[in-house]
Amino acid sequence: MSAHEFEISVSELDAGGKDYRFPLRTEWLREALEGSDAAASDKEGEVAVRVSKSGDDVVVHGTLDASLLSSCARCLGEANIVISQPITGLFSPKTSLVGAAKDEYEFAAEEAEVMAYEGETVVLDDLIRDELLLEIPMIPLCSEDCPGIRPPPSFEASPAAPAVDPRLAPLLQIKPSRNLKE
C-alpha cells in the first residue's frame, strides 16, 4: 500500500484520550484485501477509536464496521459479509522494544501483542487490516439456509433413458437376491 490511511499524531494525545473517526474507503479496502477471497463492497465502512497515551505507549480501543463481498461456499453466489468488530491495540515506540535493534529476536507472549510506532505518528493500517482478515469467515454463506448448487431445471432424465447406466449393469448380476433388511 502506498500511503497510510489511519495516522494519529502522538503529540495530540494525553492520558484522557481522544476520539477519532475514520472512513473505511473502498479503495483502501481493495488494496488491504488483495490476495484474499473477499473483496470490498460499494459501501464505505468506518473505524471509530478512542486513543490515549500512557507514558510513551499508545492504547487504542474502538470498533471496526465494514461490508465485504465473497463467494458463497454452497451456491457460489455472492455472499455479503458484515463485519462489526471491536479492535484493541497497544503501540510502543520502536526504540523502546527489546528486540528492535536485533535481527533475530524471539518475542515473549506478552511482547507479541505490542506493535511498534516510529517518530510521532501511530499508524493503525496494519491493525485494521489484520482485524478485517481475521473476521472473514472460512466458509462464507449467502444465507444460513442456502441450498447449494442445483441442476438447472431443464436437466431431467428422459423417459427413454435406461434406469441403470449400462456400464453398471454387470453389477446387478452379482447383487444378492436375499432381502437386505435381515
Which of 61, 69, 52, 113 lies closest to 85, judged by CA? 61
The pLDDT score that the predictor gives to residue 93 is 86
**Ranges of residues in the chain whose predicted pLDDT is under 70:** 1-2, 97-112, 151-162, 175-182
Q: Under DSSP, is residue 170 helix (H, G, I), strand (E, B) or coil? A: helix
The pLDDT score that the predictor gives to residue 1 is 43
The pLDDT score that the predictor gives to residue 6 is 92
The pLDDT score that the predictor gives to residue 163 is 72
The pLDDT score that the predictor gives to residue 160 is 57
Q: Across-strand partners of 67?
A: 82
Q: Residue 154 contacts by C-beta under 8 Å, 6 or more apart in sequence?
A: none
* Distance from C-alpha of 145 to C-alpha of 153, rounded to nearest angstrom: 20
**Pairing relationship of beta strands 18-24 and 57-71 according to DSSP bridges:** unpaired
The pLDDT score that the predictor gives to residue 167 is 85
Give 146-175 pLDDT, tens digit per residue: 888 776 666 555 555 557 788 888 887 886
**pTM of whole model > 0.85?**
no
Query: Where is 173: in which H helix or E strand?
Result: helix 169-173
The pLDDT score that the predictor gives to residue 182 is 47
The pLDDT score that the predictor gives to residue 2 is 45
Asked if 82 and 71 count as a contact pair (C-beta separation under 8 A), the reply is no
User: Where in the chain are the domains?
Assistant: 7-135
The pLDDT score that the predictor gives to residue 177 is 59
- For 182, the grid coordinates are 435381515
Give 23-32 pLDDT, tens digit per residue: 999 999 999 9
